[in-house]
Amino acid sequence: MNRTDEQEAIAFAIGRRMERREIEALRDAVSCAAVLEQAGFAIDVKESTRRAVKFRRSSEIVIVTHQGRGWFDPLSEAKGDVFGLVEHLDRASFHEAIEKVAALVGFEISAPEWKSRSPADKSDLSLSDRWRARRRPWPGSLTWRYLHDERCLPTSLLRTAIKRDLLREGPQGSLWAAHTNHAGDITGWEARGPQYRGFASGGAKVLFRLGPDAAMRLAVTEAAIDAMSLAAIEGLRDGTLYLSTGGGWSPITGAALGALASRPTVLLVAATDANPQGDLFAERLRALAHEAGCDWMRLRPPQEDWNEAMKARAKQRNEHRKSEGGRKEEEECRMRSGRVNGGFARLEPALDPAGRDVGGMTQVIATVGGKRGDHVDAPLPCAEPRIFSRFRHQ
């Protein structure tokens, strides 16, 4: 039976009441990927695997699983089969979803060429054994150079994270950043490298955690490298637990964040990316804070994410050093010229430009319970994040 014959048979079945076996056959005949391609979504190859293919359309994300038979939205609780996907995207009824899925029978999807899995992914070892089998990064190692030289993370921050057993050397100089549950057990790890981005095969995203478990300020980011970047920018601020969701929002992640936020006097800081996806994550965190009854604050990075802010800060610092070095060399030349002329050249005193802020914490006015006047510390004077709002739920 060709595609036209199949569609005619399905149309006939839709005209009368479809039986369960016919609905099951239609579900097997059409992949969720076909629905997404037809709806204008595109595959994000860098963040996809054979088992979980990430599709994007503007700020929307849908991840297809189970060889195309299932899907879920990491930015909400929505998930299901191909019919549920059509209902989710088009706000359609189940009957309308059947018709739209039937129209896609025989649709050829654009499948990416997957690279062969690494030996680490093929391992039969448990997650904890695979973690222990890897070395911690050390000064000069490939992973250390990736984090320090390319990602501009300072040595002191890296030593702190390594001492707390949060980092491992992944394949080909990539980084493994541990996700743990409330008991401290390894549940998986974010894998990042110059040419690779993913998550541990067989692992579960919970939370990357850098800081004291009892901290009352929870800074939530979307990636472990962003969490470490914000920690470096803030100088590992006292009483702060820097967290990463790993770019997803599973029920396990939501439950872990809810447990942390439900403690008294907690401030939940939405330090997600400065883009539409980051804003959606921030809204989910605001809703979680409302449900838990804790304070909430939006902390947007001055660049798209906190690591970009970290790299911009490092670039600014290097340019400043070069500028200072040039001025020092010019001053030495003037001194030498003075000696040649039989004396020392008189130099003008070095004055700070008018109004220059010489370090220190910057404060901004926030709104608490609808009243002005509460001060919230902004964590960095050189790359100031913008703080939108903070609420206290009664």
pLDDT per position as a tens digit, 188-243: 999 998 877 888 888 889 999 999 999 999 999 999 999 999 999 999 999 999 99
Residue 241 · residue 215 · CB < 8 Å = yes
Mean pLDDT of the chain: 79
What strands, in cross-sheet order, belong to the sheet with 42-43?
A: 42-43, 53-57, 60-65, 70-72, 79-80
Mean pLDDT of 268-295: 93
pLDDT of residue 149: 94
Q: At what angle do helices 20-29 and 94-102 cross, to 10 degrees?
A: 50
3-state secondary structure of 80: strand
pTM: 0.59
pLDDT of residue 123: 54
Return d(Cα 94, Cα 357) in angstroms, integer.
61
Residue 302 · residue 312 · CB < 8 Å = yes
pLDDT of residue 51: 81
H/E run at residue 392: none
pLDDT of residue 320: 80
pLDDT of residue 328: 66
3-state secondary structure of 271: coil
- In the chain, count H helices and then E strands: 13, 17
**Dihedral (C-alpha) 333, 335, 341, 342: value to the nearest 10 degrees?**
-150
